[in-house]
């Protein structure tokens, strides 16, 4: 009988990989807190309508990738494929419109049915930043700055490039949409079946098509910035000058778009080519119309999501493991005393390894394999004097130390 395996597109996060994930998550959380963002969590599953209405019925996520099922009551439920829709729903459900502006940090698993590949699985994990209630470009600058700071503190900023574009306001997008439809209509006989559907419902999504023929056609399509009105140009100009003033470099990418109509103004991605083909590790944009679409008040918003797996793969070094102190009874008679010593040290903030079986030699070998910084040997004679032998595992030096003075003696290893 074959051994059981995880479902395709999922994987076990073992200790070494978990340490890398934790570095990404804790670094992001610390930076977000520094900027005044508060941590929240939304449910792993939501009513399917939350995602279908916000992501659009022509998006790949909705049509091909969502994990959707009927629960025992027959309600349509979807495992979350992204964070923003759930945050917007939480904003409405909890009646938070009187508390604006709101600044949130989230992290957790997402689910999409897509072809597994390097750094991209069907269950994956994201960090996420959202700010609600600020319509001025200072919010755009801030969320991009947070992303840049996280990448800097992870020491991977030299491996990424910030790509930036403006989607303009509603007037600009309407003008661009008309130009794009006029252009694409001349290629109806060459567009993919999927793009023909999008031409009627959401033509901007054709710009993201993976079909080779569509890509050729789109390469010569009009550019969004050609349709920006004066207000949109001013907004984008403020974003660009704001980033420049705090030393954040960017490349303009006029092909960077977001297909849904609720997206506007700033769109951005931090991209890398160190994980194989070029891909985004952080991507986001302004979504001023989203909350209204799902039944809330008109509320501006902007945010981004970052892939924890992809960022973890980019870390240059494995995170350091806290080296323990080993507590070793010389014989079975000292097991109980050794356990008590170990517990007292743990209560005081020390990392302690306590072997469960074996003689002293085997337990010392275990301590070496665990890279212990020190070993506390608990023997009958030492206990009678209220003492223990402390061995420095680096130098081999030993000293008898009063049990009551162990914390002081080991303070440098706390």
Longest alpha-carbon distance in the chain: 94
**Domain shared by 305 and 334, yes or no:** no
**Domain shared by 346 and 374, yes or no:** yes
d(C-alpha 149, C-alpha 306), whole Å: 13
Task: Answer with the one of 295, 314, 333 that is the final residue of a domain.
Answer: 314
**Domain shared by 81 and 113, yes or no:** yes
| pLDDT of the residue at 125 | 95
Q: Is residue 286 part of a domain?
A: yes
CA atoms within 13 A on the CB side of 3: 1
**Domain shared by 159 and 55, yes or no:** yes
| pLDDT of the residue at 224 | 87
Q: Is residue 21 part of a domain?
A: yes
**Domain shared by 300 and 398, yes or no:** no
For residue range 27-74, what is the model confidence (pLDDT) as tens digits? Answer: 999 999 999 999 999 999 999 988 887 766 545 565 568 888 898 999
Number of structural domains in the chain? 2
Q: Is residue 397 part of a domain?
A: yes
**Domain shared by 156 and 118, yes or no:** yes
**Domain shared by 299 and 397, yes or no:** no
Q: Is residue 113 part of a domain?
A: yes
| pLDDT exceeds cutoff 80 at 250 | yes
Q: Is residue 357 part of a domain?
A: yes
Asked if 263 and 167 touch (Cβ cutoff 8 Å), the reply is yes
Average pLDDT value over all residues in the chain:
89
Q: E strands, 227-349, where?
A: 251-252, 264-272, 279-286, 301-307, 325-329
**Domain shared by 385 and 257, yes or no:** no
DSSP characters over 102-158: EEEEEEEEEE-----BTTB-SEEEEEEEEEES--SHHHHHHHHHHHHHHHHHTT-GG
Dihedral over Cα of 243, 247, 250, 252: its sign: positive
For residue range 254-308, what is the model confidence (pLDDT) as tens digits? Answer: 888 876 768 899 999 999 988 876 689 999 999 998 999 888 999 999 999 999 9
User: At what angle are helices 170-185 and 193-201 packed, to 10 degrees?
Assistant: 140
Between 362 and 240, the higher pLDDT residue: 240
Residues in the chain: 414
Q: Is residue 161 part of a domain?
A: yes
**Domain shared by 275 and 358, yes or no:** no
Asked if 355 and 363 touch (Cβ cutoff 8 Å), the reply is yes
For residue range 114-134, what is the model confidence (pLDDT) as tens digits? Answer: 776 666 788 999 999 999 999
46: phi then psi, degrees, rounded to nearest 5: -135, 170
Task: Answer with the one of 314, 341, 357 that is the final residue of a domain.
Answer: 314
Q: Is residue 338 part of a domain?
A: yes
Q: What confidence tier does 247 reach under pLDDT thresholds 50, 70, 90?
A: very high
Element (H or E) spanning 93, and its range? helix 84-93
Q: Is residue 404 part of a domain?
A: yes
| pLDDT exceeds cutoff 90 at 382 | no
371: phi then psi, degrees, rounded to nearest 5: 55, 40
CATH number at residue 366: 3.40.50.800
Q: Region 216-226: what's the mean pLDDT? A: 87
**Domain shared by 96 and 244, yes or no:** yes
Instruction: Identify the domain containing residue 301 by its residue range.
Output: 15-169+229-314
**Domain shared by 238 and 355, yes or no:** no
Task: Answer with the one of 314, 347, 370 that is the final residue of a domain.
Answer: 314
**Domain shared by 248 and 133, yes or no:** yes
CATH number at residue 133: 3.30.930.10
């Amino acid at each position: 009988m074959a051994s059981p395996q995880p479902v395709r597109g999922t994987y076990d996060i073992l200790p070494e990989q978990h340490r890398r994930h934790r570095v990404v998550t804790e670094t992001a959380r610390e930076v977000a807190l520094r900027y005044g963002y508060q941590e929240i969590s939304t449910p792993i599953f939501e009513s399917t309508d939350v995602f279908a209405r916000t992501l659009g019925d022509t998006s790949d996520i909705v049509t091909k990738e969502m994990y959707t099922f009927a629960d025992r009551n027959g309600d349509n439920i979807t495992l979350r494929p992204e964070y923003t829709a759930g945050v917007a729903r939480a904003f409405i459900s909890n009646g938070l419109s009187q508390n604006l502006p709101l600044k949130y940090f989230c992290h957790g698993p997402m689910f999409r049915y897509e072809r597994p590949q390097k750094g991209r699985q069907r269950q994956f994990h994201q960090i996420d930043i959202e700010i609600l209630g600020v319509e001025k470009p200072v919010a755009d600058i801030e969320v991009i700055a947070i992303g840049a700071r996280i990448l800097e503190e992870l020491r991977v900023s030299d491996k990424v490039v910030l790509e930036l574009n403006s989607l303009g306001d509603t007037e600009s997008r309407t003008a661009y949409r008309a130009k794009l439809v006029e252009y694409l209509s001349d290629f109806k006989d060459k567009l993919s079946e999927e793009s023909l559907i999008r031409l009627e419902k959401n033509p901007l999504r054709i710009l993201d098509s993976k079909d080779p023929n569509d890509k050729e056609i789109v390469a010569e399509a009009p550019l969004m910035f050609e349709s920006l009105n004066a207000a949109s140009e001013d907004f984008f100009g403020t974003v660009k000058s704001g980033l420049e003033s705090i030393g954040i470099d960017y490349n303009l990418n006029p092909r960077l778009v977001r297909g849904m109509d609720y997206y506007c103004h700033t769109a951005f991605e931090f991209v890398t080519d160190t994980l194989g083909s070029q891909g985004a590790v952080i991507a986001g944009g302004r979504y001023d119309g989203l909350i209204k679409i799902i039944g809330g008040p008109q509320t501006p918003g902007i945010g981004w999501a970052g892939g924890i797996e992809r960022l973890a793969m980019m870390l240059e070094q494995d995170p350091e493991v806290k080296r323990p102190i080993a507590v070793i009874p010389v014989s079975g008679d000292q097991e109980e005393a050794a356990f008590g010593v170990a517990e007292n040290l743990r209560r005081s903030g020390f990392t302690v390894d306590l072997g469960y079986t074996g003689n002293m030699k085997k337990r010392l070998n275990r301590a070496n394999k665990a890279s212990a910084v020190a070993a506390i040997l608990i023997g009958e004679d030492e206990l009678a004097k209220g003492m223990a032998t402390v061995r420095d595992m680096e130098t081999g030096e030993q000293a008898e130390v009063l049990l009551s003075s162990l914390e002081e003696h080991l303070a440098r290893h706390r």
